[in-house]
Structure 1
Amino acid sequence: MSRGGYPWWLEPAAAAGAFVLRLLGRTWRVDQRDDPEFVRARDSGEAFVYAFWHARLLPLAFTHRHEGIVVLVSRHRDGQLITRVIEHLGFRTARGSSTRGGEAGVREMLAAGGRGEAIAITPDGPRGPAEELKDGLVYVAQRLGRRIVPIGTSSASSWVFRSWDRFRVPRPFARVAIRHAAPLKARLEGESDEEARARVQAALDEVTREVRGRSGEGA
């Protein structure tokens, strides 16, 4: 074990992984079609909470590299490698869970948001169930007074891992469909916690269906 309790191979493996992702990403044929309302709000300087499913994060790690986005990541040992890979790509990380009770991670995200930094959450992490939204996303966005931007990514040509989320890695020269959907309020007036969660879940499901249809995934 290396200093800090991490395996000795973690850092060289992460550096190699980031290098490979940069090379791999340059071969992808990215088809990005963003919602016009998102584009207008982004260009006007609005800060968001970005949300996307854990299995589909890798294309975004390439397209949003070196933007200084703070990402909520797992404290589990099996999340260490992907954490260090994305840090090599210019992301910052907050360690914790996407549940409202994941206090350390939520506090870090609120602090980063309070400094005006862009933040992103995989709301089904760190251990699933896959594509099932937990309550931390809505809580963080509401506390920060930010809108949520659901993001979908898809490629019909991907390696799919036997992990809890069926993590996807687009193959070389794959066509990768990406969409940033219209921003959503974290909570509507009179809406319960469960109603807010279900509304954001539906938006993430919808943007995922759109990109899957465009890429041919599952056809």
Structure 2
Amino acid sequence: MLKNILGNSIVQFVIGRLIGLYMLLVGVTTRWTRVNQAAIEPFWAGQGKMIACIWHGRFIQVHKLWAFGPGVPRAKMLISQSREGGIVAHASRTVGAEVIRGSSAKRGQQKGGVEAMRQMARHIEDGGIICMTPDGPRGPRMRVKRGPVQLAKLAGAQLVALTWATSNRIVFERSWDKFVLPLPFGRGALIWGNPIDPPPLDASEAEFEAVRLQLEAEMLRIAAEADRLAGIPVVQPAPLKPEPAPQAEETAHAS
């Protein structure tokens, strides 16, 4: 019954808009400390190609880490084609970000991942910015998959880690991503990582993996720093597990 309700386009629109408005409320009522903003400012001015990366559990305040306005490149967020993804898409549009819908193949069923990759590459080539959640849609938590690095390689775009934390929050400990719900009227931190160069088009598997690990390390570093600045316990990543064989259609996205 609930799945049928959430699958209704009108219900998705209403819930998504309410979530988006809540995101805006938290954004304007939190006293933010900004760290390393200089790393992102050239991209706000349209200088260079960029793929922004934020952990799935923290996408709800990602809009605070980008500038929206005249002359600023358009930002698009990769969102899954799930029912929940429809709600997230409306929330993203409410805060100013456009969306691209697509997911990895599952049990042999195509979920639009290949077409989404093409759309993202075209958007970057046209001067836009893509934002991805490298551990989405189902984890493991805070572990970078191959999708963002593959897109960076194809598009010749740098990878930039983003994160935030707030002193007032609820962490959903039983969710796979330990989703963080920020609460208004607290203090918080916005942190931008240092840009990471993409692997070359003729990169070996070792070179590709080195970039993936560098991105993961940077995302973990700034997430822990943000939590410490906000004065809250650090959210830990999932334990490392043996990596499965690469899949050609794997992408990362929000759900």
Query: What is the match of residue 56 of structure 1?
Result: 58
Question: How many aligned positions are there?
Answer: 216
Of stretches 60-69 and 148-157 in structure 1, the one that deviates more from structure 2 is 60-69
Query: What is the match of residue 241 of structure 2?
Result: none
CA distance in 2: counterparts of 1:30 and 1:210, whole angstroms: 14
| Percent identity for Structure 1 against Structure 2 | 25
Q: Secondary structure at the match of 2:10?
A: coil
For 1:17, which of 5, 14, 19 is the aligned residue?
19
Query: What is the match of residue 45 of structure 1?
Result: 47
CA RMSD of aligned residues (A): 2.6
Q: Secondary structure at the match of 1:9?
A: helix
Q: Secondary structure at the match of 1:24?
A: helix
Amino acid at match of 1:130: R
For 1:150, which of 150, 158, 161 is the aligned residue?
161
Of stretches 113-122 and 193-202 in structure 1, the one that deviates more from structure 2 is 193-202
Query: What is the match of residue 170 of structure 1?
Result: 182
Give CA-to-partner distance per residue, 1:156-205, whole Å, 9 cap, x none.
32122343212112111121211111101122776432222112111111
Amino acid at match of 2:157: R
TM-score norm. by structure 2 comes to 0.75
CA distance in 1: counterparts of 2:151 and 2:43, whole angstroms: 19
Amino acid at match of 1:117: G
Q: Secondary structure at the match of 2:138?
A: coil
Of stretches 37-46 and 53-62 in structure 1, the one that deviates more from structure 2 is 37-46
- 1:185 maps onto 2:200 in alignment: no
Q: Secondary structure at the match of 1:45?
A: coil
Q: Which runs of 5 or more residues in structure 1 are unaligned?
A: none
Kept in 2: contact 1:98–1:121 (CA 8 A):
no
- 1:201 maps onto 2:201 in alignment: no
Kept in 2: contact 1:134–1:197 (CA 8 A):
yes
In the superposition, relative to structure 1, how do residues 163 and 83 fare at CA in structure 2: closer, same or farther (>3 Å)?
Answer: farther
Amino acid at match of 1:124: D
Q: Secondary structure at the match of 1:57?
A: helix
Q: Which runs of 5 or more residues in structure 2 are unaligned?
A: 106-111, 235-255
Please report how far the alpha carbon of residue 29 of structure 1 lies from its aligned counterpart in structure 2 after TM superposition: 1.0
Kept in 2: contact 1:170–1:176 (CA 8 A):
no
Query: What is the match of residue 75 of structure 1?
Result: 81
